[in-house]
Structure 1
Amino acid sequence: MSEPLPEDEGTAVRGRLASVGLDSMIDVHTHFMPERVLAKVRAYFDAAGPLIGGAWPIAYRGDDADRLARLRSFGVAHFSGLNYPHKPGMAAWLNQWSAQFAAQVPECLQSATFYPEPEAPTYVAEAIDSGARIFKVHVQVGNYDPNDPLLDQVWTQLQDKQIPAVIHSGDGPVPGDHTGVAGVRRLLERFPRLVLIIAHMGMPEYDAFLDLADDFPGIYLDTTMVFTPFTEDLMPFPEASKPRLLDFGDRILFGSDFPNIPHPFLTQVDAVLGLDLGAEWSRKVLRDNAARLFNLDE
């Protein structure tokens, strides 16, 4: 069973924000998907126990209206609606769905995705023209090399437009054929001005991805699932590396993986604040860095 959600969780989250001088936050790693895709994702997590060595109980199983209401109650002023394909022929219609969703939900950063297929440059250009502000790249689920030649024109577009892409390329929670830091480093050697947001801070290769951020100024890292009790039991962040988080205080972004998370949203907020790296650092991670990256300051 999933961990019980806190009573009046919205008030609790907003209280945490107020404690560091914020009245809102930004979550760069949330998922809003077509129902049939969401059902498959949930089925994966429901059956994930043998893969990760323990259960992955999903905390938020409501419909879109319920999930939106919860994010708003938490004080999340802006969030992504990340989708991703696991096979050819999916990405274009996922992008159309995401565009329609964002048009109806003003807080949602219009999201898009792609897969290595001949049509990718065309539908990525269409997504950008329609207003896409963030892309999702899931190397593990898609099981493809980010350096696939079919994606060269896609990466060129994202680099030229400086549109960020959240890339799940770490080996956590389970490795894939093309996960790991090496493939992303090769990609950046070819496209050094890409803006990439490393999902889950690259778990479990935390230091290797921090090294990557040292070498490429367009690298950001999101906190998704990191520092929480769930992940600390599986793939803990090295205690000796925590001072490095201060060095990247301008390039760490809050992410939660809401709604398919095995704990309350509050747990991720507390995990970030529990690092005790100061109110200014926390404000940057919880809001200011993403506001600057996506030009969201009113």
Structure 2
Amino acid sequence: MATERHSDARVPDWLRGLGLPGLIDLHVHFLPARMERRVWHHFKHGGPLMGDGWRIAYEWPVEARVERLREMGVRAYPALAYAHKPGMAADLNAWTLDFARRTPGCLPSATFYPEPGVVDYVRRALDEGVKIFKVHLQVGGFDPRVPELEGVWGLLAEAGVPVVVHASSVPVPGGYVGAEPIGQVLRAHPGLRVAIAHLGMPEYGPFFELAARYERVALDTTMAFTDFSERGMPFPARLRPALLDLGLSGKVVLGSDFPTIPYPYAHQLDALARLDLGDAWLRAVCWDNGVAMAMV
């Protein structure tokens, strides 16, 4: 995609060139104002879970961010929130559900944390129409294999509702990351629908193996292949054939991490296009696979 250093204004023309009605982005964040300020502070100033941090390209008011997504043609996206301690998740779910109700294009989303009552509030979220969940094993610092979550994984596998799982050691190692903890959950619940955030970078290989092994496991493209990520966590050339095959078989979905990215949104799309895996692959990743995964 030709850009003036990856201008967002060119995205609609790029979509028309591919014959796409828009984008389905399954890794977008909107948060309650107080929490968002704290998260942005960590991104900008760095810390134990962020390394050096980075400049946020879209540190804008909520309305301006929603409008930018609309202008670019992002037709569906969640407001992914995630709990990092007990007592947060139920309130976050109430907020994200309300945000989705009043924001056209926003998918109802929810989160969970290993704590008393977690099965009950996850079941309630499903009853209220949640289409996608998010958990962050690094920030949450919890083991996905704990007994408190056994019932949750079973509920989600039965419902077929996807979970975006941050399970890799990006931006820095910490928590129960790597393919083994979430891989053991999948062994117990092979029907679980999971999107591995960030393509599993930098542990690409083991997470690609999970996607190949389990019918409902996919990888999201969040920050992958961008100049920012390629500098420190380059995608291995040996996995290009698998990336092509997984994308065409429904197992790679578009994610961006908007708004907390250090470059224009369009650069994520440019990074995908320059892989030169073909228009059919781009159409699958940017639209078809997301529609199928989140039942949009």
- Sort the Cα spacing of 1:52 and 1:95 in 2 relative to 1 into closer, same or farther, 3 A: closer
Q: Does residue 124 of structure 2 align to residue 111 of structure 1?
A: no
Superposition pairs of residues 44-83 of structure 1, within 5 angstroms: 44-48=42-46, 54-83=52-81
**2:96 aligned partner:** 98
How far is the alpha carbon of 1:207 from its aligned partner? 1.1
- Sort the Cα spacing of 1:34 and 1:208 in 2 relative to 1 into closer, same or farther, 3 A: same
Q: Does residue 43 of structure 2 align to residue 41 of structure 1?
A: no
- Count the aligned residue pairs: 292
Question: How far apart in 1 are the matches of 2:279 and 2:239?
Answer: 20
Superposition pairs of residues 204-243 of structure 1, within 5 angstroms: 204-243=202-241
**1:128 aligned partner:** 126
Residue aligned with 1:167, SS: strand
How far is the alpha carbon of 1:53 from its aligned partner? 6.0
1:23 to 1, 21, 24: 21
Q: TM-score, normalised by structure 2?
A: 0.95
Partners of 1:113 and 1:136 within 8 A in 2: yes
4+ long deviations beyond 3 Å = 5-10, 49-55
Q: 5+ residue gaps in structure 2?
A: none
Q: TM-score, normalised by structure 1?
A: 0.94
- Sort the Cα spacing of 1:166 and 1:51 in 2 relative to 1 into closer, same or farther, 3 A: closer
Partners of 2:131 and 2:295 within 8 A in 1: no
Question: How far apart in 2 are the matches of 1:214 and 1:235?
Answer: 21
Q: 5+ residue gaps in structure 1?
A: none
- Sort the Cα spacing of 1:51 and 1:152 in 2 relative to 1 into closer, same or farther, 3 A: closer
**1:145 aligned partner:** 143
2:244 to 231, 246, 250: 246
Q: RMSD value over aligned CA atoms? A: 1.7
How far is the alpha carbon of 1:215 from its aligned partner? 1.1
**1:276 aligned partner:** 276
Residue aligned with 1:137, SS: strand
How far is the alpha carbon of 1:121 from its aligned partner? 0.6
Q: Does residue 257 of structure 2 align to residue 257 of structure 1?
A: yes
Partners of 1:21 and 1:279 within 8 A in 2: no
Partners of 1:120 and 1:151 within 8 A in 2: yes
Segment of structure 1 superposing worse, 239-248 or 257-266? 239-248
How far is the alpha carbon of 1:272 from its aligned partner? 0.8
**1:195 aligned partner:** 193
How far is the alpha carbon of 1:194 from its aligned partner? 0.3
How far is the alpha carbon of 1:44 from its aligned partner? 1.1
